[in-house]
């Protein structure tokens, strides 16, 4: 001890401790404010006092004198309240909370040897001292003296607190991830060992079959080896499983760790708006993945602030509406299968759907004559243009809209819905996975490609016949549980295509997926197995892939994409029951080859026919044009999914055609592939400059390559 | 006798294996590799990408790996060759030629990759061959007048030794469309 490094290290620990202690003080103050009886109130005050005393001690030990003085003043105030010399009015609590915030800031930048308080801190000190009884006449000496008396008691309490903190270990997420990665390598090693073991056994079997007496000498040690190895593997497997379980558990955090912050936020809104609210938070013991808890912080803050600031009426309004003066706001955490449900309810005025409808009309989402149902309007509430607009005039929004809340929830693999009744209140319901790490997955095969579907989204696997299916121009529907569910096939290229009766067999398989109260039936060829999966992201390069929520690695080391059920369902039902939406670039429900229209532009009739045949072969719809000029005429007012054009053409060549397409407001999103026989760098560059999405050489090109390129682009 | 000895030898080799592995893993957990800590900005790793030779700044190179099975990723630009596993991590493989030339002719069946890490982004660059380490002083890296595709030029620090493309990884990552982020496309 004693070196600069030691101090820096200790200072870091102190900062974490200070933050926790101050948070504890804030929480205790809120508890005493809402306490049901005097004992509870006294206990909360005792806790607050003890925590302040601990903090003062810690600051003093490190020689952080200015900070210790500041905490000392806080301790005095808390002591005075406990001794009933000071009445904890809401104003006094406000002072304590806001000064705790100042102290927290001060503690986070406290340096060894610092001797002065900055202005803000000095003011905080003064304000705290002013709170003390008799502050104006005699300084706080008498009170400070009293506060010193119960120190023996608080030290005993401090002792129990420190033994409590021994139960907690701070581990960085990064370290945990590394450990998990190492685990996985150990698992791989186990698999390799198993293989070696199998080899040895096979070799022995062969040798035994070709038996000769001498072999015994070889076989004996080998048997020993094999046996030893088998035991090792067994032990290793057991050990690995244990370590993995423990590691996964380390990632879990109680959702209750967010409660103090939520309580504080609700109190702040109430004070600011002069509202009365009874806040109930239940189920804080449920543990969730650390990342989920961290990421849910601002969405939950937002939802609760919304419920209070937007939902709860003034006390007088409430009373004249026959409601209790204090608004009832709650967040309840419960188990729901292997997910966790968070329900945030209020008994306020409810969502104003007329306003939502007006705004939707303004945005052109619905027409004046459209009488959208409440369900549809609710769905619109979560779309991006809507939230900001409605919020700006009425909600206590702080930057994050409902749209952002929904995005966070969905990124975490959860779902969000809302119910609201005018005059009676609103209820937001969030479903979250317990962990991002371990999940159950259904391994399926479609057109010889394997994927995994998260089990949580699978409602049922059904086998159906063609008579259960109704097909209209656009969509196929499956009759399931007395409801018509959109039916689509999953393609290996991660698109859904319309289910075609032509390929219908006696018994077809479909997985019924549910997401956000909608359902879709996804046709697959085979159901493989159900297994525990660890879902991981796709790495730092590909951040998000539509239709995919992550990747999982099987026991044998193969990688599988884990599908995102909410994307699949969304694609299958099309948003808001309208036609193909711009906000849904995936093209979606009917994105088969057969649904894709490609324009082939070439002045050579041979090349044109060759490409036409080639693309028709693999099922695309194809139109042709003889040159760039004709291509532009053909494209006028129509929507092609891709343009495949030759470079050298009369009138308007491939480069020019590409440029014009990319500059056209309606066509610019259409992918263009340029085909050429010239492979000079300057030609390629010209193509790329023009905005071509790919530049292919005729002589190198195979059908497979062309189709692969097209599939990647559309 | 021979029996126990063989077993001893065997468990010794397992122990060695485990020890080596543990040491390697411990090292990775702490700091990437010795190479990156002893940073010399003039060192480059030479790679052959079909007909051209590139130089990658060594401080961004984590290692060179042999590829196992590659999982292609649907719905991604053509320069994204797929995903491989690397010690429990997922690594995206990139075909630089396909990115520069926007053409499907490239390294589709290459079996080696150089792992690059820069600014928190990690990816593998497919290559036909890894050549030697080269030391290039800044004055050896010349501006180029050569007629190179724009997209390639935008990723270069310059040319060295007549035809060696000296790559600037930060510029490469910053190129529009290089990283795949569909969320970004939406907005």
User: What secondary structure does DSSP assign to A630-689, as a single string?
Assistant: HHHHHHTT---SEEEEESS-SSS-HHHHHHHHHHSTTTTTS-EEEEES---HHHHHHHHH
- Is B102's Cβ below 8 Å from some Cβ in A? yes
Q: Please give the residue that has the higher pLDDT: either A353 or A181.
A: A353
- For B159-176, what is each residue's pLDDT tens digit? 888 789 999 999 998 888
pLDDT at A211 over 70: no
Are the C-beta atoms of residues B123 and B93 closer than 8 Å to each other? yes
Q: Please give the residue that has the higher pLDDT: either A198 or B145.
A: A198
The model's confidence at residue A396, banded by pLDDT at 50, 70 and 90, is very low
pLDDT in the model for residue A461: 92
From CA A578, how far away is CA A370, in angstroms rounded?
13
Say if the Cβ atoms of B104 and A685 lie within 8 Å: no
- Is B118's Cβ below 8 Å from some Cβ in A? no
The model's confidence at residue B24, banded by pLDDT at 50, 70 and 90, is low
Which residues of chain B neighbour A689 with C-beta distances below 8 Å?
150
Distance from CA of B29 to the nearest CA of A (A): 6
Which residues of chain A neighbour B174 with C-beta distances below 8 Å?
none
The model's confidence at residue A560, banded by pLDDT at 50, 70 and 90, is very high
pLDDT at A379 over 70: yes
Distance from CA of B179 to the nearest CA of A (A): 6
pLDDT at A371 over 80: no
- Is B133's Cβ below 8 Å from some Cβ in A? no
Closest chain B CA to residue A551: B90
- For B58-72, what is each residue's pLDDT tens digit? 999 988 998 888 898
pLDDT in the model for residue A411: 76
Are the C-beta atoms of residues A338 and A434 closer than 8 Å to each other? yes
- Most B CBs within 10 Å: which of A540, A557, A558, A690, as the mutation test of the B interface? A540
pLDDT in the model for residue B94: 93
**Structure token pair of residue A307:** 């419920």
Q: Please give the residue that has the higher pLDDT: either A178 or A656.
A: A656
- Is B76's Cβ below 8 Å from some Cβ in A? yes
pLDDT at A653 over 60: yes
pLDDT in the model for residue A280: 93
The model's confidence at residue A707, banded by pLDDT at 50, 70 and 90, is confident
CATH code of the domain made up of B37-186:
2.40.50.180
Instruction: Over range B101-125, report the average pLDDT.
Output: 82
pLDDT at A351 over 90: no
Are the C-beta atoms of residues A342 and A369 closer than 8 Å to each other? no
pLDDT in the model for residue B44: 93
Q: Which residue bears the tokens 């491939």?
A: A654
pLDDT at A152 over 60: no
Say if the Cβ atoms of A178 and B29 lie within 8 Å: yes
Least confident of A160-174, A613-627, B73-87: A160-174
Say if the Cβ atoms of B75 and A494 lie within 8 Å: yes
**Closest CB from B25, B69, B121 relative to A541:** B121
Say if the Cβ atoms of A182 and B88 lie within 8 Å: yes
Say if the Cβ atoms of A543 and B179 lie within 8 Å: yes
> Computed over its alpha carbons, how large is the radius of gyration of chain B?
20
Number of C-alpha atoms within 13 angstroms, CB side, residue A78?
Answer: 32
**Structure token pair of residue A539:** 């790495």
Say if the Cβ atoms of A541 and B105 lie within 8 Å: no
Say if the Cβ atoms of A543 and B120 lie within 8 Å: no
CA dihedral A631, A637, A641, A645 (to 10 degrees): 10
What percentage of chain A carries pLDDT values higher than 70?
A: 84
The model's confidence at residue A381, banded by pLDDT at 50, 70 and 90, is confident
**Structure token pair of residue A701:** 């090109």
Are the C-beta atoms of residues A293 and A432 closer than 8 Å to each other? no
What 3-state DSSP class applies to A297? helix
Least confident of A85-99, A265-279, B170-184: B170-184
From CA A652, how far away is CA A682, in angstroms rounded?
19
- Most B CBs within 10 Å: which of A181, A406, A492, A542, as the mutation test of the B interface? A542
Least confident of A169-183, A272-286, A299-313: A169-183
Least confident of A121-135, A213-227, A664-678: A213-227
Least confident of A478-487, A624-633, B82-91: B82-91
Q: Which residue bears the tokens 């397409």?
A: A661
pLDDT at B124 over 70: yes
Contacts of B128 (CB under 8 A, 6+ apart): B48, B49, B50, B107, B110, B112
**Closest CB from B104, B180, B186 relative to A705:** B104
Write down the domain spans for chain B.
1-30, 37-186
Instruction: Over range A236-265, report the average pLDDT.
Output: 79
Are the C-beta atoms of residues B104 and B98 closer than 8 Å to each other? yes
The model's confidence at residue A616, banded by pLDDT at 50, 70 and 90, is confident
pLDDT in the model for residue A608: 77
Instruction: Over range A14-43, report the average pLDDT.
Output: 86
Q: Please give the residue that has the higher pLDDT: either A2 or A194.
A: A194
From CA A699, how far away is CA B3, in angstroms rounded?
64
The model's confidence at residue A3, banded by pLDDT at 50, 70 and 90, is low
């Amino acid at each position: 001890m004693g070196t600069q490094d030691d101090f820096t290290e200790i200072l870091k620990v102190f900062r974490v401790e200070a933050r926790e202690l101050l948070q504890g003080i804030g929480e205790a103050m809120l508890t005493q404010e809402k306490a049901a009886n005097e004992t509870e109130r006294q206990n909360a005050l005792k806790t607050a006092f003890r925590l302040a005393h601990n903090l003062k001690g810690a600051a003093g030990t490190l020689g952080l004198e200015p900070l210790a003085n500041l905490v000392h003043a806080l301790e005095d105030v808390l002591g005075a309240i406990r001794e009933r010399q000071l009445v904890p009015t809401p104003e006094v609590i406000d002072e304590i909370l806001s000064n705790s915030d100042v102290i927290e800031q001060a503690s986070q930048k406290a340096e060894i040897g610092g001797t002065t308080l900055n202005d803000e801190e000095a003011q905080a000190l003064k304000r705290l001292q002013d709170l003390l009884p008799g502050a104006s006449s005699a300084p706080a000496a008498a009170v400070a003296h009293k506060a010193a008396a119960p120190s023996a008691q608080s030290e005993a309490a401090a002792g129990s607190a420190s033994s409590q903190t021994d139960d907690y270990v701070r581990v960085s997420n990064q370290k945990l991830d590394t450990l998990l990665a190492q685990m996985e390598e150990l698992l791989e090693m186990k698999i390799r060992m198993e293989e070696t073991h199998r080899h040895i056994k096979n070799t022995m079997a062969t040798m035994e079959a070709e038996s000769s007496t001498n072999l015994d000498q070889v076989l004996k040690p080998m048997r020993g080896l094999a046996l030893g190895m088998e035991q090792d593997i067994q032990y290793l497997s057991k050990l690995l499983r244990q370590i993995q379980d423990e590691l996964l558990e380390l990632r879990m955090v109680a959702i209750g760790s967010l409660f103090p912050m939520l309580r504080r936020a609700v109190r702040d809104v109430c004070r600011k708006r002069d509202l009365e609210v009874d806040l109930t938070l239940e189920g804080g013991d449920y543990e969730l993945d650390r990342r989920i808890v961290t990421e849910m912080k601002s969405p939950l803050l937002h939802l609760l602030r919304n419920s209070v600031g937007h939902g709860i009426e003034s006390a007088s309004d409430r009373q004249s509406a026959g409601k209790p003066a204090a608004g009832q706001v709650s967040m309840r955490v419960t188990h729901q299968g292997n997910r966790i449900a968070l329900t945030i309810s209020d008994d306020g005025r409810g969502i104003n759907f007329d306003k939502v409808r007006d705004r939707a009309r303004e945005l052109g989402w619905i027409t004046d004559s459209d009488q959208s149902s409440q369900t549809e309007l609710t769905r619109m509430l979560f779309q991006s243009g809507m939230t900001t607009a409605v919020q700006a005039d009425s909600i206590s929004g702080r930057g994050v809209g409902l749209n952002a809340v929904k995005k966070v929830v969905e990124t975490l693999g959860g779902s969000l819905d809302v119910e609201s009744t005018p005059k009676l209140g609103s209820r937001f319901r969030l479903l979250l996975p317990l962990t991002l790490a371990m999940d159950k997955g259904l391994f399926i095969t479609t057109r010889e490609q394997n994927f995994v579907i998260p089990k949580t989204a699978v409602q049922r696997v059904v086998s159906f016949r063609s008579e259960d299916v109704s097909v209209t121009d656009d969509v196929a529907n499956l009759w399931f549980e007395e409801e018509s569910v959109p039916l689509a096939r999953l393609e290996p290229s991660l698109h859904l295509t319309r289910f075609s009766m032509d390929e219908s067999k006696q018994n077809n398989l479909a997985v019924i997926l549910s997401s956000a109260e909608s359902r879709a039936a996804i046709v697959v060829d085979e159901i493989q197995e159900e297994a525990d999966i660890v879902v991981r992201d796709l790495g730092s390069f590909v951040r998000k892939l539509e239709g995919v929520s992550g990747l999982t690695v099987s026991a044998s080391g193969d990688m599988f994409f884990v599908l995102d059920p909410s994307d699949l369902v969304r694609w299958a039902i099309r948003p808001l029951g309208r036609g193909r939406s711009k906000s849904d670039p995936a093209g979606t429900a009917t994105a088969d080859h057969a649904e894709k229209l490609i324009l082939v532009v070439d002045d050579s009739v041979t090349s044109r026919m060759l490409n036409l045949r080639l693309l028709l072969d693999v099922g695309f719809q194809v139109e042709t044009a003889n040159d760039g000029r004709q291509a532009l005429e053909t494209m006028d007012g129509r929507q092609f999914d891709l343009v495949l054009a030759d470079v050298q053409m009369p009138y308007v060549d491939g480069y020019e055609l590409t440029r014009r397409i990319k500059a056209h407001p309606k066509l610019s999103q259409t992918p263009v592939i340029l085909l050429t026989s010239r492979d000079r760098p300057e030609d390629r560059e010209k193509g790329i400059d023009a905005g071509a999405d790919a530049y292919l050489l005729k002589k190198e090109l195979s059908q497979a390559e062309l189709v692969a390129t097209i599939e990647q682009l559309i | 006798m021979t029996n126990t000895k063989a077993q001893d030898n065997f468990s010794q080799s397992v122990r060695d294996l485990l020890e080596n592995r543990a040491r390697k893993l411990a090292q990775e957990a702490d700091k990437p590799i010795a190479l990156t800590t002893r940073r010399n900005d003039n060192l480059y790793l030479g790679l052959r990408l079909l007909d051209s030779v590139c130089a990658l700044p060594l401080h961004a190179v984590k290692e060179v790996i042999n590829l196992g099975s590659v999982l292609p990723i649907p719905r991604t630009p053509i320069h994204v060759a797929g995903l491989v596993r690397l010690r429990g991590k997922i690594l995206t493989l990139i075909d630089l030629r396909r990115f520069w030339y926007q053409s499907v002719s490239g390294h589709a069946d290459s079996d080696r990759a150089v792992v690059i890490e820069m600014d928190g982004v990690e990816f593998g660059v497919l290559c036909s061959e890894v050549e030697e380490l080269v030391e290039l002083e800044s004055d050896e890296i010349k501006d180029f007048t050569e007629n190179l595709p724009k997209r390639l030029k935008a990723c270069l620090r310059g040319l060295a030794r007549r035809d060696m493309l000296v790559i600037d990884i930060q510029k490469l990552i910053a190129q529009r469309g290089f990283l795949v982020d569909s969320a970004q496309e939406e907005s």
